Amino acid sequence: MKIERIDLYHISMRLVSPFVTSFGPQQQRDCLLTAVHAEGLTGWGECVATNDPGYSYETTGTAWHILGDFLIPALLGRDIAGPEALAPALSFVRGHPLAKAALDQSLWDLAAQADGVSMSARLVEPYAEGAKSRVPVGVSIGIQSSIGRTVEVIREYYEQGYRRIKLKIKPGHDVALGRAARAAFPDLPIMLDANSAFRLEDAPLFQAMDDLNLLMLEQPLGYEDIYDHSLLRPLIKTPLCLDESIHSDDHARYALAIGACDIINVKPSRVAGWTEARRIHDRCRAAGMPLWVGGMLETGIGRAAQLALASLPGFTLPGDISATERYYERDITGPFTLNTEDSTISVPSGVGLGVEIDHDYLNAVTLRRETFTASAA
């Protein structure tokens, strides 16, 4: 596909409630969007970098720089055979997976549109079993003012129909929280996510959770670590999941080789896009390692593509993909809703991402927009 023009947006949307993790609070959710124009079609992508370098070193500012000064100019006027051909064309830029993933999503949307199918259908082509039409989901609950308040928030989401709960933890807000949640909900799948806030020396704290029957413990140790997780894993009963540490299929290979985890949270943005995410899916599925799709408080544009990925057969655990109302009062696409009878969200079946963009609202939340064309490059 010949890439004729790319529009870059910086948007800012207010979350319905602040999202607090071990690396800090977030109330305003900024992100970038890419609209890639090729052969009469437009493919949309979301760069989930935030204003602060908390989860990742990338921010909306670094992503704008890397996209606008390097990645986009490298694509303008080029004929890119398909999404699989994108990574080699961008490999001259080291790192910056969140910036690259926006363009990767745009190209998968374009490829699906060119074939007249949904992104899920385009991604699932290699697998005989086909795509799931609805995927199991849960809700990720940020750090609250108290344990009592956390239990109340769990109850609210439980009443809304969510049947997998993830709680953020940090030092001092850990074992007692898990214990209170388990006491209040004896049979609910509950998991904890530390976002790298602990060290291997904290192993006794995680051993104290062994009797809580947790679904998993997500990324307790360093955000680039694989080795210490492999040392922690045999010391605890709770299944160990990696998020931050896995930036590529190679990292998944290392983690499998040294037994660093039981489960991987695949965020397509963290691994530079859906092509690499699918490689990780194939490797882990062959190795029998369960997977789920993680989230970054996406808008409807990113959420549609998360759901397409989660429809692949190897994503067997509930994803961090919640209903729109859990994040935003109003979104730049139509809302996603929870199927309350089975805690799932339906995978969009329309062509491409399968969402309708509300351009009036998109304009209202846009802080900055720039159009890049081949001639101006």
Shortest distance, position 205 Cβ to ligand OSB, whole Å: 19
What residues numbered 50-79 form the site for ligand OSB, per CB under 6 A? 55
Shortest distance, position 244 Cβ to ligand OSB, whole Å: 7
Cross-strand pairs, 294: none
Alpha-carbon gap, residue 335 to 136, rounded angstroms: 17
What residues numbered 85-114 form the site for Mg ion, per CB under 5 A? none
Segment interacting with ligand OSB (CB under 6 A) among 28-36, 149-157, 223-231, 288-296: 288-296
> For residue 91, what are the contacts with CB-CB under 8 A and spacing of at least 6?
none
Alpha-carbon gap, residue 78 to 6, rounded angstroms: 12
Which does residue 249 bind out of ligand OSB, Mg ion, none, counting CB within 5 to 8 angstroms by kind? Answer: none
Asked if 298 is part of the footprint of Mg ion (rule: CB under 5 A), the reply reads no
Segment interacting with ligand OSB (CB under 6 A) among 35-43, 115-123, 280-288, 293-301: 293-301
Residue-wise over 103-140: b if at least 16 C-beta within 10 A, else e?
A: bbbbbbbbbbbbeebbbbbbbbeebeeebbeebbbbbb
- Active-site residue, from 166, 168, 170, 237: 168
Q: Considering the complex, state which of residue 242 and residue 365 has its C-beta at the smaller distance from ligand OSB.
A: 242
Which does residue 296 bind out of Mg ion, ligand OSB, none, counting CB within 5 to 8 angstroms by kind? Answer: ligand OSB
- Active-site residue, from 100, 132, 166, 267: 267
Q: Is 334 exposed, middle or buried (0-12, 13-18, 19+ CB in 10 A)?
A: middle
Q: Considering the complex, state which of residue 218 and residue 276 has its C-beta at the smaller distance from Mg ion.
A: 218
The answer for 277, left when phi > 0, alpha when psi is -120 to 50, beta otherwise, is alpha
Asked if 101 is part of the footprint of ligand OSB (rule: CB under 6 A), the reply reads no
By beta carbon distance, the residue nearest ligand OSB is 295
Alpha-carbon gap, residue 59 to 53, rounded angstroms: 6
Alpha-carbon gap, residue 362 to 331, rounded angstroms: 8
2 is catalytic: no
Asked if 193 is part of the footprint of Mg ion (rule: CB under 5 A), the reply reads yes
In the stretch 319-358, what mask flags binding to ligand OSB with x, by CB under 6 A? -x-x------------------------------------
Q: Which amino acid is at 257?
A: A
Q: Quick one: which H or E segment has residue 176?
A: helix 175-184
What residues numbered 189-218 form the site for ligand OSB, per CB under 6 A? 193, 195
Asked if 372 is part of the footprint of ligand OSB (rule: CB under 6 A), the reply reads no
Select the residue interacting with ligand OSB from 113, 140, 245, 299 (CB under 6 A): 140
Structure tokens at 138: 């849960």
Shortest distance, position 303 Cβ to ligand OSB, whole Å: 8
Residue 177's SS3 state is helix
Q: Are 14 and 29 in contact (CB under 8 A)?
A: yes
Shortest distance, position 377 Cβ to ligand OSB, whole Å: 33
Which does residue 245 bind out of Mg ion, ligand OSB, none, counting CB within 5 to 8 angstroms by kind? Answer: none
267 is catalytic: yes
By beta carbon distance, the residue nearest Mg ion is 243
Q: Considering the complex, state which of residue 193 and residue 228 has its C-beta at the smaller distance from Mg ion.
A: 193
In the stretch 235-274, what mask flags binding to Mg ion with x, by CB under 5 A? --------x-------------------------------
Asked if 294 is part of the footprint of ligand OSB (rule: CB under 6 A), the reply reads yes
Alpha-carbon gap, residue 198 to 229, rounded angstroms: 11
Q: Considering the complex, state which of residue 108 and residue 162 has its C-beta at the smaller distance from ligand OSB.
A: 162
- Look-up: residue for tokens 């993909």? 321
What are φ and ψ of residue 104, in 5° steps? -60, -45
Query: Measuring CA to CA, how many Å separate 28 from each of 14, 52, 306, 332, 335?
Result: 5, 11, 21, 15, 19
The Cβ of residue 232 has, within 10 Å, a number of other Cβ atoms equal to 23
Which residues are near Mg ion by CB under 5 A? 193, 218, 243
Residues involved in catalysis = 168, 267
Which residues are near ligand OSB by CB under 6 A? 55, 140, 193, 195, 243, 294-297, 320, 322
